[in-house]
Amino acid sequence: MISIQNGSHLASTYCALAILKIVGYNLSNMDSESILTSMRSLQQPDGSFMPIHIGAERDLRFLYCAAAICFMLNNWNGMDREKAKEYILNCQSYDGGFGLTPGSESHGGATYCAIASLRLMGFIGDDCLSNASAPSSKANIQSLLDWSLQRQVADGGIQGRPNKPSDTCYAFWIGATMGTLGANKFIDEKALRSFLLTCQSECGGFGKFPQELPDLYHSYYGLAAFSILGEAGLKPLCLELGVTEAAATGL
């Protein structure tokens, strides 16, 4: 059989490396150079990333993939971090959250990509909260915090955007963002836990809303959210990579 030409894709590369880490493969055995060279040419003048050379949409998701890849390979030659940071800051909306592109509505998933990327690239330290109100050329952390925390709504669940229904996966997107900033104690954990349990299906796994059939995506993020909440029996996560700490450090 002949294999057909298959251009590499940043999301696939991120997933492949993360899976390898999860199963305990030593990434230093990989040919990082070719991955990083290929990645460099995917970064755009404004700092964003295209996922594939033949062309596709560009937004924060692929910047996150690039940052995660460089982090896992422990080699930042694949991207210009300063330019990437600039693009991320341009994605911060007037209300403190981040959109997928500059000007886009702030969104829980985009906000995770922004903050996790900044953390991976080394632009967010452990002392983020104590400097929250300091004016700087960095992200406006105070308004980000306020916006993110208001995403938890009356039913205890978390919504992705103001005035939208709560959805299991945002428990991770927003929960992990807060965790990265050291602010997860500001989330009402009891209420969130309670909401997530209503999204758990009788046949196992989680759906997006209560009564919805489960799917792999919401099951993963529901479980990940429970890990952030400190659920007994679940391993701690490396929030910015989306894998367990054990997998992230290779132990």
Q: Is the dihedral of CA 106, 107, 110, 111 positive or negative?
A: positive
Q: Which is nearer to other proteins, 150 or 249 (CB)?
A: 150
Q: Name the DSSP letter for residue 188.
A: -
When binding is defined by CB under 8 A, the residue of 34, 44, 77, 150 that contacts other proteins is 150
Near other proteins by CB under 8 A, which window of 181-189, 200-208, 225-233, 234-242?
A: 181-189
User: In sequence order, what are the residues at sequence separation of 6 or more whose Cβ sits closer than 8 angstroms to the Cβ of residue 22?
Assistant: 243, 244, 247
Which whole-number Å values give the CA distances from 191 to 151, 152, 196, in the listed order?
13, 9, 9
Convert residues 59-98 into a mask of x (bound to other proteins by CB under 8 A) and - (unbound).
Answer: x---------------------------------xxxx--
Q: How far is the CB of 77 from other proteins (least distance, A)?
A: 26
When binding is defined by CB under 8 A, the residue of 65, 79, 100, 223 that contacts other proteins is 100
What is the DSSP annotation of 80-138?
-HHHHHHHHHHTB-TTSSB-SSTTSPP-HHHHHHHHHHHHHTT-S-TTGGGGTT---SS
Q: Which is nearer to other proteins, 117 or 148 (CB)?
A: 148
Q: Is the dihedral of CA 27, 60, 41, 10 positive or negative?
A: positive
Residue with tokens 């954990």: 189
User: In sequence order, what are the residues at sequence separation of 6 or more whose Cβ sits closer than 8 angstroms to the Cβ of residue 186?
Assistant: 145, 149, 178
Convert residues 16-55 into a mask of x (bound to other proteins by CB under 8 A) and - (unbound).
Answer: ------------------------------------x-xx
Among residues 241, 229, 142, which one has the least CA distance to residue 194? 229
Give Dmax over CA atoms of the chain in angstroms.
60
Q: How far is the CB of 57 from other proteins (least distance, A)?
A: 4
Near other proteins by CB under 8 A, which window of 39-47, 182-190, 218-226, 243-251?
A: 182-190
The reply to whether 56 sits near other proteins by the rule CB under 8 A is yes
Q: Which is nearer to other proteins, 81 or 99 (CB)?
A: 99
Give the residues lining the site for other proteins (CB under 8 A): 1-7, 9, 52, 54-57, 59, 93-96, 99-101, 103-107, 132-133, 143, 145-147, 149-150, 152, 154, 156, 161-164, 183, 185-186, 188, 191
